[in-house]
Amino acid sequence: MKSNAVEEQLCLPFPSAAATGQGGPSPLGNGEIAQRLDEIAALLEAQGANPFRVRAYRTAARTLRELDEPVAEILRREDLGGLERLPGIGRSLAHTIDGMVRTGRCARLDRLQAGSTPEKLFATVPDIGPGLARQIREQLGIETLAELEAAAGDGRLARVPGMGPKRVRAVRESLAGRFRREARAKPAAWSDPSDEPPVAELLDVDRRYRLLAELGRLPRIAPRRFNPTQEAWLPVLHTQHGSRHYTALYSNTARAHELGTTRDWVVISRDDPEGHGRWTVITGRYGKLRNRRVVRGREAECAAHYERREPAHRSRPR
How many Cβ atoms sit within 10 Å of the Cβ of residue 88?
21
Mean pLDDT of 210-237: 86
State which fold the 118-180 domain adopts.
DNA polymerase; domain 1 (1.10.150)
- φ/ψ of 235, rounded to 5, equals -70, 145
Quick one: DSSP state of residue 2? -
Q: Where in the chain are the domains? A: 118-180, 199-309
Residues paired with residue 245 on neighbouring β-strands, in sequence order: 240
How confident is the model over 46-71, as a mean pLDDT? 85
On the question of pLDDT at 13 being above 60, the answer is: no
- Model confidence band, residue 142 (pLDDT cutoffs 50, 70, 90): confident
> pLDDT tens digit string along 198-213?
999 999 999 999 999 9
Residue 228 has pLDDT above 90, yes or no: no
Strands in the chain per DSSP E: 220-221, 234-241, 244-250, 266-272, 275-283, 293-295
What pLDDT sits at residue 215?
Answer: 94
Highest averaged pLDDT of the listed ranges 151-155, 270-274, 302-306: 302-306
Say what the pLDDT of residue 179 is: 57
Instruction: Give the range with max mean pLDDT: 94-98, 118-122, 179-183, 313-317.
Output: 94-98
- According to DSSP, the β-strands at 220-221 and 234-241 are antiparallel
* CA separation for the pair 95, 104 (Å, rounded): 13
Q: What is the mean pLDDT of residues 166-179?
A: 79
Q: What is the pTM of this model?
A: 0.46
- What's the rounded Cα separation, in Å, for the pair 195 and 205? 17
Pick 104 or 273 by higher pLDDT: 104
pLDDT digits 0-9 by tens, 96-129: 898 888 888 777 777 676 666 677 778 878 788 8
**Confidence grade of residue 311 (pLDDT, cut at 50, 70, 90):** low
Cβ atoms of residues 101 and 283 within 8 Å: no
Do the Cβ atoms of 183 and 59 come closer than 8 Å?
yes
Sheet holding 244-250, edge to edge: 220-221, 234-241, 244-250, 266-272, 275-283, 293-295
pLDDT surpasses 70 at 35: yes
